Amino acid sequence: MKCTAKAHTNIALIKYWGKRNESIILPTNSSLSLTLDGFYTTTTVDFREELSKDEFFLNDQLVSGEQYNRVTTFLDLIRTYAGKKLYATIHSINEVPTAAGFASSASGFAALAAAGANAIGLQLTDRELSMLTRQGSGSACRSIYGGFAEWEMGMKDDGSDSFAVPIAPADYWDVRVAAVVLSSTMKKVSSREGMKRTVETSPFYTGWIDSIPNDLKQIKEGIAARDFEKVGQIAEANCLKMHATTLGANPPFTYWHDTTLAVMQTVQSLRDNGIPAYFTIDAGPNVKVLYLPENENDIQKTLRGIPGVTDVILSRSGQGVTYL
Ligand code: PMV
């Protein structure tokens, strides 16, 4: 009753921003992402009769508190589905540099769901695995698939139609992402709190929701045509709209720092100089830059030259969940 699974993180090009059900994590909008090969989690789940509770090790350190509770609550779900009251030892190795500002919860919950479900003997389809993963961390449900994936929000109250579907596999198109790491850190509003506050208080939130169907339609056309400029423009504009909702919230907030803006402006000036590059930003100050392989050297050099940037980590399109 032991299984090891590996999952990569993903970056949303059309953001998930808002929940309609917080307990089983149902979103207020559909989203679309690119899975990244550079950032991943490998997790082993070992269910054993002799254990009287779960034990969770992250990068070989025993974990307790909030992080432990999230993992064990998620395993409760797996135990309920399997109808088995067995506890497990969980070992996770995170290859997601926390400084890169990626939510390691995406790769973490995708790997945990895959390894846990498999170890306890559940035979899930990818779709069922995505639905299970969604209940651990929303954005993680897209990491079941490699390349481009869409999380369909669904309409039902029970979540049975809210899961990710593959749009194009990792080898379909060599689009790359530079994760730009900034030196300054600021007290962060979690994605959970940020979503809740904007849904409940931002007058811009309805504008965000109204704009999603067209953004999704356009970006999928762009992916189908391998039209980098179209995909980049829509992703960048969608990110700006998401961040605009936070400025309208009460109390208002932003995830951006001065260096965040400097990176955004540099990306726009790269374009003015004929180098196609587009940015996107999640619930934090760091910026991810989309680019094509032929521009890798220019992109890397330019981004590294921005004062306040401490690192630039390059990544390609990554695979979906695999079992080791
Ligand atoms: O799934 P969470 O709670 O990590 O929220 C993710 C929210 C964003 O990263 C901002 C957008 C997204 O779709 O990944």
DSSP string, 188-228: PPPHHHHHHHHHHH-TTHHHHHHHHHHHHHHHHHHHHTT-H
Pocket test for ligand 1, best of 11, 135, 139 (most atoms within 8 A of CB): 139
pLDDT tens string 24-72: 999 999 999 999 999 999 999 999 999 999 999 999 999 999 999 999 9
> Of all helices (H) and strands (E), which one includes residue 115?
helix 104-120
Nearest ligand 1 atom to alpha carbon 10:
14
User: Residue 105: what pLDDT?
Assistant: 87
What is the Å distance from ligand 1's center to 16 Cα? 6
Statement to judge: residues 137 and 194 lie in one domain: no
98 pLDDT higher than 70:
no
Percentage of residues in the chain having pLDDT higher than 90: 94
| Domain boundary residue, one of 110, 141, 171 | 171
User: Residue 220: what pLDDT?
Assistant: 98
pLDDT tens string 268-292: 999 999 999 999 999 999 999 999 9
In a domain, 322, yes or no: no
| CATH number reported for the structural domain that contains residue 234 in this entry | 3.30.70.890
Statement to judge: residues 116 and 51 lie in one domain: yes
Cα–Cα distance measured from residue 274 to residue 320, given in angstroms and rounded to the nearest whole number:
33
In a domain, 116, yes or no: yes
Percentage of residues in the chain having pLDDT higher than 70: 97
Statement to judge: residues 160 and 308 lie in one domain: no
Our count of domains for the chain comes to 2
User: Residue 100: what pLDDT?
Assistant: 64
Atom 9, ligand 1: which residue's CA is nearest? 282
Statement to judge: residues 191 and 119 lie in one domain: no
Statement to judge: residues 215 and 124 lie in one domain: no
pLDDT tens string 100-130: 667 678 999 999 999 999 999 999 999 999 9
Pocket test for ligand 1, best of 11, 13, 17, 21 (most atoms within 8 A of CB): 17
Beta-ladder partners of 153: none
299 pLDDT higher than 80:
yes
| Domain boundary residue, one of 122, 155, 171 | 171
Ligand 1 neighbours by CB, cut-off 6 Å: 12, 15-16, 31, 103, 105, 137-139, 191-192, 282-283
Contact 319, 3 (CB under 8 A): no
Statement to judge: residues 9 and 128 lie in one domain: yes
This complex has an ipTM of 0.98
User: Residue 96: what pLDDT?
Assistant: 80
Statement to judge: residues 162 and 193 lie in one domain: no
In a domain, 320, yes or no: no
User: Residue 97: what pLDDT?
Assistant: 72
**Owning domain of residue 129:** 2-171
pLDDT tens string 209-235: 999 999 999 999 999 999 999 999 999
pLDDT band for 183, please (50, 70, 90 cuts): confident
| CATH number reported for the structural domain that contains residue 114 in this entry | 3.30.230.10
> Of all helices (H) and strands (E), which one includes residue 152?
strand 148-152
User: Residue 177: what pLDDT?
Assistant: 97
In a domain, 321, yes or no: no
User: Residue 103: what pLDDT?
Assistant: 67
What is the Å distance from ligand 1's center to 24 Cα? 15
In a domain, 6, yes or no: yes
Cα–Cα distance measured from residue 15 to residue 109, given in angstroms and rounded to the nearest whole number:
18
User: Residue 187: what pLDDT?
Assistant: 67
Statement to judge: residues 162 and 17 lie in one domain: yes
What is the Å distance from ligand 1's center to 1 Cα? 31
99 pLDDT higher than 80:
no
In a domain, 302, yes or no: yes
Nearest ligand 1 atom to alpha carbon 282:
10
Reply yes or no: is the peptide bond before residue 251 cis, omega within 30 of 0: yes
186 pLDDT higher than 90:
no
In angstroms, what CA-CA distances link 30 with 36, 48, 147, 241?
A: 20, 38, 17, 15
Statement to judge: residues 88 and 134 lie in one domain: yes
Which residue, among 133, 284, 76, has the nearest Cα to 194 in the 3D structure? 284
Statement to judge: residues 62 and 158 lie in one domain: yes
pLDDT tens string 138-182: 999 999 999 999 999 999 999 999 999 999 999 999 999 999 999
Nearest ligand 1 atom to alpha carbon 139:
1
Nearest ligand 1 atom to alpha carbon 103:
4
Statement to judge: residues 183 and 284 lie in one domain: yes
What is the Å distance from ligand 1's center to 66 Cα? 19
86 pLDDT higher than 80:
yes
Atom 8, ligand 1: which residue's CA is nearest? 282
Atom 6, ligand 1: which residue's CA is nearest? 139
Nearest ligand 1 atom to alpha carbon 283:
10
Nearest ligand 1 atom to alpha carbon 105:
4
What is the Å distance from ligand 1's center to 139 Cα? 5
